[in-house]
């Protein structure tokens, strides 16, 4: 979308035929989302559905997103874990991530654009000047939170991993001789199992 082109959008909510917002491949989560959920005392209801994406970190940066689940109507397709397929609705509607609240409008630091032209709400309804201003402000905020999260997440991850490694080194130091012997046995058994698995696959 260019800024000159008039943006109109009305979410069809439960009457939406496609729910492309909930089936898009990556539903981004930001530190701002975590902070809002913590403030709302809602974090524990949501955390089980949030994941840290490490596999694609080198290519796209480390991100947080909602987990995925297969759709029962089409098991080749997946959707956000919070999508209630039967009700055709979001189970955390009032606390959904900022990327869902701004969807399908996004900002890339310079311009606004529509992320998914398949969204059934595009071109529907009248968007007042005030509503458009609010939608753009939210898209800008989402962009800022997305960049902040991608920038800071590797450092937060390193701090937590470092802490865990120090704690586990400390725990190893305090092991009794008997526990250390048991642990060595478990580790060597596991190594043997791994070696025999890799022999089988050769």
List contacts with ligand SF4 (CB under 6 A): 21-22, 27, 66, 80, 82-83, 90, 92, 96-97, 100
Tokens of 52: 């840290």
> Of the two residues 67 and 159, which places its CB atom closer to ligand SF4 in the complex?
67
Strand positions, DSSP E, the chain: 28-29, 50-53, 63-66, 68-70, 78-80, 83-84, 89-90, 105-107, 112-114
Minimum distance from residue 110 beta carbon to ligand SF4 (Å): 25
Nearer to ligand SF4, 22 or 153 (CB): 22
- CA angle, 19 then 22 then 24, to 5°: 100
Q: What is the C-alpha separation between 146 and 111, in angstroms, rounded?
A: 15
Q: Least distance in Å: CB of 61 to ligand SF4?
A: 20
96 vs 107, which CB is nearer to ligand SF4? 96
When the beta carbons of 77 and 168 are compared against ligand SF4, the nearer one is: 77
| Contact in structure between 18 and 116 (CB atoms under 8 Å) | no
Angle at 121 between CA 119 and CA 127, to 5 degrees: 135
Least Å distance between CB 22 and ligand SF4?
A: 3
CB 88, min distance to ligand SF4, A = 10
């Amino acid at each position: 979308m260019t800024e000159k082109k008039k943006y109109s959008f009305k979410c069809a909510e439960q009457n939406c035929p496609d729910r492309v917002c909930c089936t898009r491949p990556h539903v981004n989560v930001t530190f701002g989302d975590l902070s809002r959920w913590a403030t709302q005392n809602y974090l524990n209801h949501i955390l089980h559905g949030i994941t840290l994406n490490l596999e694609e970190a080198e290519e796209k940066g480390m991100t947080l997103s909602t987990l995925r689940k297969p759709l029962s109507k089409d098991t080749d397709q997946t959707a956000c874990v919070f999508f209630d397929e039967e009700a055709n609705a979001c189970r955390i509607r009032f606390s959904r991530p900022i990327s869902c609240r701004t969807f399908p409008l996004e900002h890339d630091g310079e311009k606004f654009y529509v992320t998914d032209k398949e969204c059934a709400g595009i071109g529907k309804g009248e968007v007042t000047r005030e509503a458009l201003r609010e939608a753009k402000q939210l898209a800008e905020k989402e962009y800022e939170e997305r960049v902040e999260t991608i920038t800071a997440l590797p450092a937060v991850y390193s701090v937590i991993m470092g802490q865990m490694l120090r704690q586990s080194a400390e725990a190893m130091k305090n092991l009794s001789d008997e526990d250390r012997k048991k642990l060595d046995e478990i580790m060597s058994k596991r190594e043997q199992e791994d070696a025999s698995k890799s022999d089988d696959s050769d």
